[in-house]
Amino acid sequence: MEQKSKAKKAVKLMQRIDSDMIEWIQERMKDFDLLMSYYRCAMMEIETKFKVLNEEFSLEHDRNPISSIKTRIKSFDSITEKLERKGLPFEVDSVEKYINDVAGIRVICTFPEDVYLLADALLKQDDIMLIRKKDYIAEPKENGYRSLHLIVAVPIYLAHEKRLMKVEIQLRTLAMDFWASLEHQLRYKKDFEFTQEMADELKLCAEQSAALDLRMEALRKQVNSQ
Ligand code: 0O2
């Protein structure tokens, strides 16, 4: 008899723990979804700023410095995987504090000069705060990867508050983007061993595409000077 009531109590306790746990997870997910919506707003702010710069430049110089813009919010799985890698708990606060690339925007520019022109114009804006800059164009990565990376904070204005949100910006030319997209595809091909020979070949391709960028830019300067 005593045994039976103990078992009943244990079942009840487990049910309560289960529902407490579900409530705890649901609460966390609500906070997480809200945070993601703030990141989406910040991404829209930055995208609009680049579109405005493109519009202004195209009127003044009769050409577009931006070829295309891609935006993305890091997936839930990638965020939790990154937190785990950094040895951090799954807390909304740690996402905001330690993950810089939840909101990402990639600006594909026409010529190398445009990358710096756009980055400088954005960073001059008084509501943009530069947190980190990595110039992989001036100093390409060992594998040949080239891009200008910026982590900035931008304010978003909500009904009752202003929040500063971080956005990762990658600026690169069409040629750099072509290389990075293919390199990413090749490197992450399943069940395939990436040899040193292939890495060398990829690096050579990156150097050739950088040289192509410079030749195209020189051509543009010739056309402009006429
Ligand atoms: P995804 O899905 O593209 O976002 P951290 O600041 O901790 O995030 P890290 O390494 O200091 O990490 O950042 P870094 O060097 O600024 O670059 C991170 C991002 O740049 C990567 O994001 C890629 O998008 C891009 N990137 C960096 N190196 C390479 C490279 O060698 N090849 C290619 N194709 N892309 C590169 P994620 O997180 O990998 O993924």
End-to-end CA distance of the chain: 100
Ligand 1 pocket mutation, candidates 84, 101, 176, criterion most atoms within 8 A of CB: 101
Q: What is the pLDDT of residue 11?
A: 76
CB of 206 shorter than 6 A to ligand 1: no
Cα–Cα distance measured from residue 84 to residue 47, given in angstroms and rounded to the nearest whole number:
30
- Beta-carbon neighbour count of residue 123 at 10 Å? 14
- Residue 203 CA to ligand 1 center (angstroms) comes to 17
Residue 139's φ and ψ, nearest 5 degrees, are: -130, 85
State both tokens at 63. 């050409």
For residue 17, the model assigns a pLDDT of 67
Please report the pLDDT score of residue 60 as a whole number: 85
Nearest CA to ligand 1 atom 35: 180
Fold held by 2-225: Beta Polymerase; domain 2 (3.30.460)
Give residue 205's pLDDT.
96
104 lines ligand 1 (CB under 6 A): yes
49: tokens are 């700023």
Catalytic residues: 168
Cβ of 149 less than 6 Å from ligand 1: yes
Taking only the tens of pLDDT, the chain with its 226 residues reads 566 777 777 777 777 767 777 777 777 788 899 999 999 999 999 999 999 999 999 988 888 999 999 999 999 999 999 999 999 988 888 899 999 999 999 999 999 999 999 999 999 999 999 999 999 999 999 999 999 999 999 999 999 999 999 999 999 999 999 999 999 988 877 677 778 898 999 999 999 999 999 999 999 988 888 7
